[in-house]
Amino acid sequence: MKPLREVAGAYAALGKAERELGEGLFEAAALSCRNAMDVSRTVPAEEVFDHAGFDAFCHAWLSRALGELGRFDESLAAAELSLGYFNRRGELHEETGKMWITAVMQRALAFDALGRQEEALVELQKGVEMLQERKGEMAQKEAYLREASLRIARLEDFQKQAKPSGYKAWWEFWS
């Protein structure tokens, strides 16, 4: 028999985190994500419960909450943990696809905030492709597409202006 109380408690905490994200309560959402993972760890390992998948959901939303709080190193770490699961088992057109996209986009935003422009550009392009391919609704879809479009344009412009390694202007050769 499944320990229904623990499973229900874990999903209730995750649902609370989702509501808090929607309300802009990012610190509370981060706490709720961590609480959801703590509660899920009380479900015995031998029970039929996808611990890794549940943690991937929690880490995707934790990454978003931490990113909104400007804690980009932590946001990136949470996105990486989430993607460790979704890159192996994610199904874009299932419900998990929303969380997979969230993790990819949060990773891209964290890379950009941390000054890792090349990695940010690759992840943003991947996220846009996933958003365009995904069928069905996603609450953050339009916001992610707008943000990605702006950042991709800025990052591509930055790449065009960047000088190649070892570049010297003509006047530097004479000095």
DSSP secondary structure, 85-122, as one string: HHHHH--TTSTHHHHHHHHHHHHHHHHHHTT-HHHHHH
CA distance 50 to 88: 14
Task: Assess whether pLDDT exceeds 60 at residue 110.
Answer: yes
Confidence of residue 111 (pLDDT cuts 50, 70, 90): very high
| Cβ–Cβ under 8 Å, residues 13 and 36 | yes
In 3D space, the residue among 41, 63, 64 whose CA is nearest the CA of residue 52 turns out to be 41
Q: What is the CA radius of gyration of the chain?
A: 19
With a CB cutoff of 8 Å and minimum separation 6, the contacts of 22 are: 139
Per-residue pLDDT reduced to its tens digit, 17-50: 999 999 999 999 999 999 999 999 988 877 788 8
**Domains of the chain by range and CATH?**
4-43+50-159 (1.25.40.10)
Contact yes or no for 155/124 (Cβ under 8 A) = yes
pLDDT over 50 at 146, yes or no:
yes
- The pTM is what? 0.84
Give the mean model confidence (pLDDT) for residues 136-157.
88
